[in-house]
Amino acid sequence: MKKYDVIVIGGSASGIATAITGKNAYPNKSFLMIRKEKQAIVPCGIPYIFGSLHDTKKDTISDKIFEKNNIDLKIDEVTKIDAENKTCTTKDGSMISFEKLVLATGSKAHVPAWLDGANKENVFIIPKDKDYLDQAIKKLSSAKKIVTIGGGFIGVETSDELKKEGKEVIIVEKLPHILGTAFDDELCEAVEQKLKERNVEFITNMGVSKITGDDKATGVELENGESISADAVLLTVGYQPNTKLASDAGLSLNEKGFIRVDEYMHTDNHDIMAVGDCAEKRDFVTRKISTTMLASTACAEARIAGMNLFKLSAMKTFSGTIAIFSTALGDTGYGVAGVTEKTATQEQFDVVTGSFTGVDKHPGTMPGVHKQTVKLIAAREGGLVLGGEVIGGTSTGELTNLIGFIIQNKMTVNNILTAQIGTHPLVTAPPTAYPLIKAAEAVARKL
């Protein structure tokens, strides 16, 4: 029987990051990655294979990183974990033993049981599966009109890409706003305005009662009885953790169905860790169990797991998920870090908010300048920063990450008011009106 010091199951973002961080931290240990997909693809890039990239081949992760890092790779599927004897059994009949095991089994696109017609032809989900996606691109190429069920990130980004390719697209969202679970209303409204400009249609506050058609989908019927005809239907209503292997192995799941983990990413078996979409998440601010699934969060968990595999570091723990999202439509970026005002208020935090709109280059006459808005959400108590939102140009992602650092390091509005920043006409807002600082001033006035 083959024996490895560490086996990682799952070869997407968090599996890769665990294996590489782990091997880096423990170079003398042997690492095996077991992945069922022949070819790993970049998960966040999937919406863009339907437009900008035109092909799944352009959205792949090369296996060279395993060779380079001296990590063995086995394309196979683990069918059973024997936690007591510390072995994995795979589809090809191998049994491999481990000292430490990391579950990075990810999530699968959710098909709601109540939705009638989801198994018809020309109904597509967005799984992290190259073969499926290749087929979907091919079949969608002849579709003229597409209905997307679900106005979350995957739904919005994929719909926008398909529109760029000349399709007629309409998003149907059950919540009052597009991206409504991620952003505060004013940011959702900005996204909706941008979608309108880009001729991506959408209906909000409206559920879908069924997908119509015989064998092939011909559209959807809405909860108000109206029908929308379409040549294809995209189903993007979220993902669910892959946890069967874990629960079969006797590991505990939480009330939302994720694998229970501690702040070092241990499951309730000290030799088995779980990371990424399959692992339990707790919100950094609200401390509630969260269902946020992000490749970036997954990789943060993965680094923690990798570093703590054989030797625990009390300085390197995962102390809760700070939801940090960013996206872009055309040249406009949208980002959020931490809790929104909506969530903070629901959870009964006593918060103060402030926002400021300026420009992302300066002076405002600079070619390529884009408006930049920053909103901050801070606790009235001590001015602790709990969240922030950004609308801007291409620097939105990094500015959102800066706010993420502020939140996870428990900084207050004072830390922003006294902050030194660097500014330059071509790459940032002006020093006199840097929106992050002006937003902090707006908060401070109310404290």
Work out how close the CB of 58 gets to a copy of itself at its nearest, in angstroms, rounded to a whole number. Answer: 4
Which CB, 100 or 303, lies closer to a copy of itself?
303
Work out how close the CB of 308 gets to a copy of itself at its nearest, in angstroms, rounded to a whole number. Answer: 10
Choices 70-78, 192-200, 249-257, 329-337; region in contact with a copy of itself by CB under 8 A: 329-337
Distance of CA 390 to the CA centre of its chain: 17
Per the DSSP assignment, residues forming a β-bridge with 239 are 109
Which CB, 170 or 300, lies closer to a copy of itself?
300
Choices 73-81, 83-91, 222-230, 301-309; region in contact with a copy of itself by CB under 8 A: 301-309
- The two three-digit tokens of residue 276, written as one number: 């990424």
Work out how close the CB of 4 gets to a copy of itself at its nearest, in angstroms, rounded to a whole number. Answer: 21
- The two three-digit tokens of residue 246, written as one number: 């874990």
Question: What span, in angstroms and rounded, lies between the C-alpha atoms of 255 and 228?
Answer: 36
Site string for a copy of itself, 15-34 (x = CB under 8 A): -xx--xx--x----------
- C-alpha dist (Å) from residue 196 to 30, 102, 178, 191, 369: 53, 44, 12, 9, 21
Which residue intervals of 91-152 are DSSP H helices?
Answer: 130-140
CB hemisphere CA count around 432 (13 angstroms): 3
DSSP H helix total and E strand total for the chain:
12, 24
Helix (H, G, I), strand (E, B) or coil at 430: coil
- DSSP string covering 148-194, please? EE--SHHHHHHHHHHHHTT-EEEEE-SSSSTTTTTS-HHHHHHHHHH
Work out how close the CB of 398 gets to a copy of itself at its nearest, in angstroms, rounded to a whole number. Answer: 4
Work out how close the CB of 188 gets to a copy of itself at its nearest, in angstroms, rounded to a whole number. Answer: 17
One of 5, 37, 61, 204 touching a copy of itself (CB under 8 A): 61
Site string for a copy of itself, 351-380 (x = CB under 8 A): -----------xx-xxx-------------
Choices 88-96, 108-116, 254-262, 328-336; region in contact with a copy of itself by CB under 8 A: 328-336
Question: What span, in angstroms and rounded, lies between the C-alpha atoms of 129 and 109?
Answer: 10
One of 31, 183, 325, 349 touching a copy of itself (CB under 8 A): 325
Work out how close the CB of 365 gets to a copy of itself at its nearest, in angstroms, rounded to a whole number. Answer: 4
Question: What span, in angstroms and rounded, lies between the C-alpha atoms of 214 and 207?
Answer: 21
Peptide bond into 363 cis (omega under 30): yes
One of 159, 327, 355, 373 touching a copy of itself (CB under 8 A): 327
Per the DSSP assignment, residues forming a β-bridge with 95 are 89
One of 299, 359, 377, 386 touching a copy of itself (CB under 8 A): 299
Q: Give the residue carrying structure tokens 């505060």.
A: 184
Work out how close the CB of 49 gets to a copy of itself at its nearest, in angstroms, rounded to a whole number. Answer: 10
One of 35, 59, 78, 170 touching a copy of itself (CB under 8 A): 59
One of 180, 333, 354, 387 touching a copy of itself (CB under 8 A): 333
- Give how many residues touch a copy of itself by CB under 8 A: 84
- The two three-digit tokens of residue 265, written as one number: 């990413």
One of 9, 42, 211, 278 touching a copy of itself (CB under 8 A): 42
CA angle 362, 446, 385 (to 5 degrees): 70
Which CB, 380 or 424, lies closer to a copy of itself?
424
Q: What spatial distance separates the first Cα and last Cα of the chain, rounded to whole Å?
A: 65
Return the residues of window 272-291 that contact a copy of itself according to CB under 8 A: 284
Choices 108-116, 141-149, 250-258, 298-306; region in contact with a copy of itself by CB under 8 A: 298-306
One of 96, 307, 344, 359 touching a copy of itself (CB under 8 A): 307
Which CB, 42 or 274, lies closer to a copy of itself?
42
Per the DSSP assignment, residues forming a β-bridge with 78 are 90
Do residues 196 and 187 lie in contact, with contact meaning Cβ atoms separated by under 8 Å?
Answer: no
Which CB, 152 or 219, lies closer to a copy of itself?
152
Interface with a copy of itself includes 316 (CB under 8 A)? yes
- Region for residue 60 given its phi and psi (left: phi exceeds 0; alpha: psi -120 to 50; beta: otherwise): beta
Which CB, 81 or 261, lies closer to a copy of itself?
261
One of 33, 178, 273, 337 touching a copy of itself (CB under 8 A): 337
At residue 169, what is the residue type?
A: V
Per the DSSP assignment, residues forming a β-bridge with 169 are 146
Per the DSSP assignment, residues forming a β-bridge with 60 are 41
Work out how close the CB of 63 gets to a copy of itself at its nearest, in angstroms, rounded to a whole number. Answer: 13
Return the residues of window 408-447 that contact a copy of itself according to CB under 8 A: 408-409, 411, 414-415, 417-428, 430-432, 434, 437, 441, 445
Q: How many other CB atoms are there within 10 angstroms of residue 198's CB atom?
A: 15
Do residues 16 and 71 lie in contact, with contact meaning Cβ atoms separated by under 8 Å?
Answer: no
Return the residues of window 83-142 that contact a copy of itself according to CB under 8 A: none
